[in-house]
Amino acid sequence: MDDLTQSNYGLSAPPDIDSTAETDNSLPRAVLRPGTHFLLDGTWKFAVDRDDSGLIEEWEQGYDYRHTAQWPGSIEEHMAAAHTEGSAAWQDKIVAWYEREFPLPEVSAGQSQTLFQLTFGACGYETRVWLNGRLLTTIEGESVHFGEYTSFTYELPEDTLHLVNRLTVRIADTMDAETTRGKQESHVYKRGGIWYQTYTGAVRSVWLETVERNRLRSRVGVVSTIEDNLVRFNLTLRIHDAADYVVRLQVFEPDAALGEAPLAASDFPMQLAAGQHQQRFSMEVPGAEVWCPENPHRYRLVAQLIDNTGYVAQIEALFGLRKIEARGRKVYLNNEPIYLDGILYQPGTATFAEMQRHMHAMKELGCNLVRVHIAGIDPRIYNLADELGLLLWVEVPSPHSSTPRSRENHRAELLRMLSLMETHPSIIIWSLYNEDWGAQDIATNPATQRYIVQMYNFMQLAHPQFLVIDNDGWHHISYQGSLKSDLLTAHLYTPDLGRWRELLDRLIHGEMEGTAAFPLVVGDPYFYRGQRPLLVSEWGGFGFSDYGGPADAEARTNSIRAFKQELRKRPIAGDVYTQATNIEDERNGLIGFHSGQLDVPAGLLHSDPA
């Protein structure tokens, strides 16, 4: 195998790599980069390491793989396809190895400012990567990457690259209840009912591209102040060569022609040391339109890092100006009251095409809000929500036990998600926990309460563009009589309309006990007087046997209409029907999982004021 001696790289496609010029956002990220990326998806060699001996035996230096697998895909799928011992189920720990070769894209001279970058759209929960037998370290300095819901990136060392390269990946996961699992089973919550089979491993694309040595990373946070048309952009700069730079920001209409003058532009001179830097930049966009469900207007940001020779490293992102606020009993979007007609969405093992169909179907149902439940999904879905004008409520995939380590994992997962999801105007709500999962001692453990209060306060300061819920459903935290949640939410399940009216009346009158399954508020005494918007953030479940209620579509339709009418008769700010599609044992969906077709009338979940 020949070493690559040319140090300056320009890219053109080799015949056996999927080459795509990035003229649209085909990769699972919010940011566009000029040029070409090369997908390494497809057929990989595959082996299950049942004895976890691969590290000791140094499989990364060479191993005789007996099976192949299609990347992206889950370990469970790959085990089943390879007919490995037993079935795709695993009960304690799973370790799998993947390997493929790829030729280096054709090189040309004159690209001294660039280097090769390798990105995994998502993989995990624990991932190690070797290039030609050498362990790689992420840009964040991780030799082992933890987490399975967000992307991570490697800069490929020149002295490791060959004309033909061997990429080896070791993925490990366990049933550890202290890791962020969402609704996948664990040692605490076993599969069945509302707990699902694991779906782990190589779950999103992996790609190769060239990037500048000194550049803006694919992370753009947006905070807008609509009253004065001011936008704050949070950018991440990756610098190898300490020097003076200029950050140039330009804002265009999304369909602006090449050469058209920007709506706004500003330069920001900076003296930058080597390393990674987070920086906020503010600029005015005069006369800007706000983003809202009725008019999801977006603008195009062109952000450039210019060095002292005039060399330009550029990224682009679409963004929207919008403001979300919880004020008294109502939620306000762009200073106008809005009722949140929501639906709970659990994509499970849905493909990207199926998720696209689901999103369109949920809008057809009349929803303006989709609650993406305890899962990290393909970021292209957030882009689609931005385009469709669907508001999103996102959640940190929860651990299943409450310990200092589970809280550390929870915080790390939240920070990873935030760094990649701040671009989207559609995302308006974050919840830290749901129904005490991973915080089972929330009512009694001061350490758990302190952690959640700290994260709520952090979100208020660092991410004011979102509403934040401490623990959705019940057991919200009161500190000195102040609720540490922007919304007071309750999960109310009953198929009986009379009981439904009773529960809603209890809720609006501020009865903290006897409404949801557990007291609505814990901690210091809390006296509800309409100072927070009320949301019934889960209800319905019609068709799911454990919840009761009508099973056929016509009966469900009639019940949903009647239950929605009762919600709108009361000072409630929004609701979330459970749920969009059937998934495993939960047979309570309104949308065909594969087809995306509605099983109930269009517009059913849209409500007008009573």
pLDDT digit string, tens, across residues 201-212: 999 999 999 999
CB atoms within 10 A of CB 314: 18
DSSP conformation letters of 547-565: T-S--SHHHHHHHHHHHHH
Q: CA-CA distance, 502 to 100, in Å (whole number)?
A: 61
pLDDT at 111: 61
Looking at domain 324-591, which CATH architecture does it have?
Answer: Alpha-Beta Barrel (3.20)
Q: CA-CA distance, 525 to 523, in Å (whole number)?
A: 7
What average pLDDT does the chain have? 93
- Residue 146 burial (CB < 10 Å; 0-12/13-18/19+)? middle
- Fold: same for 215-319 and 324-591: no
Whether the predicted pLDDT of 304 surpasses 90: yes
Give the closest residue to 474 by CA, choosing from 485, 482, 466. Answer: 485
State the DSSP H helix or E strand holding residue 406, giving kind and residue range, or none if neither: helix 404-421
Local structure of residue 504 (DSSP, 8 states): H
Greater confidence (542 vs 326) lies with 326
Tokens 């699972």 belong to 28
Label residues 474-491 b or e (16+ Cβ within 10 Å = b): bbbbbbeeebbbbbbbbb
pLDDT at 113: 82
pLDDT at 286: 93
Q: CA-CA distance, 313 to 305, in Å (whole number)?
A: 5
Q: Which CATH superfamily is domain 215-319 in?
A: Immunoglobulins (2.60.40.10)
Give the pLDDT band (50/70/90) at residue 103: very high
Query: What are residue 152's phi and psi, to 5 degrees?
Result: -150, 155
pLDDT at 87: 53
Whether the predicted pLDDT of 15 surpasses 60: no
One-letter amino acid of 412: A
Q: Among residues of the chain, what percentage have pLDDT more than 70?
A: 94
Give the closest residue to 45 by CA, choosing from 31, 27, 59. Answer: 59
Whether the predicted pLDDT of 419 surpasses 90: yes
Q: CA quadruple 209, 212, 213, 217: dihedral positive or negative? A: negative
pLDDT at 6: 29
Q: What is the pLDDT of residues 21-78, one digit of tens each?
A: 444 558 999 999 987 899 999 999 999 999 999 999 999 999 999 999 999 999 999 9
pLDDT at 11: 40
Give the pLDDT band (50/70/90) at residue 543: confident
One-letter amino acid of 454: Q
One-letter amino acid of 202: A
Local structure of residue 321 (DSSP, 8 states): B
Q: What is the pLDDT of residues 214-250, one digit of tens each?
A: 999 999 999 999 999 999 999 999 999 999 999 999 9
- Residue 362 burial (CB < 10 Å; 0-12/13-18/19+)? buried
Kindly state the average pLDDT of the residues 292-297.
98
Give the pLDDT band (50/70/90) at residue 105: confident
Kindly state the average pLDDT of the residues 347-360.
95
Q: What is the pLDDT of residues 390-410, one digit of tens each?
A: 999 999 999 999 999 999 999
Q: CA-CA distance, 143 to 156, in Å (whole number)?
A: 13
Whether the predicted pLDDT of 260 surpasses 70: yes
Q: What is the pLDDT of residues 315-332, one digit of tens each?
A: 999 999 999 999 999 999
pLDDT at 10: 35
Give the closest residue to 224 by CA, choosing from 287, 290, 316. Answer: 290
596: left (phi over 0), alpha (psi -120 to 50) or beta: left
Any idea where the domains of the chain sit in the sequence?
31-212, 215-319, 324-591
Whether the predicted pLDDT of 523 surpasses 90: yes
Asked if 298 and 254 count as a contact pair (C-beta separation under 8 A), the reply is: yes
Q: Give the pairing type, strands 369-372 and 391-395.
A: parallel
Give the pLDDT band (50/70/90) at residue 88: low
Q: Residue 215: CA atoms inside 13 Å, Cβ hemisphere, count?
A: 20
Q: Among residues of the chain, what percentage have pLDDT more than 90?
A: 87
Give the closest residue to 71 by CA, choosing from 51, 105, 97. Answer: 97
Whether the predicted pLDDT of 90 surpasses 90: no
pLDDT at 86: 53
Kindly state the average pLDDT of the residues 372-387.
95
Q: CA quadruple 317, 323, 326, 332: dihedral positive or negative? A: negative
Whether the predicted pLDDT of 463 surpasses 50: yes
Strands laid side by side in the 330-333 sheet:
324-327, 330-333, 336-338
Which of helix, strand or coil describes residue 586? Answer: strand
Query: What are residue 334's phi and psi, to 5 degrees?
Result: 55, 40
Chain centre distance of CA 602: 28
Is CATH 2.60.120.260 the right assignment for the domain spanning 31-212?
yes
Give the pLDDT band (50/70/90) at residue 84: low
Q: CA-CA distance, 289 to 362, in Å (whole number)?
A: 25
pLDDT at 206: 97
pLDDT at 335: 97
pLDDT at 26: 82
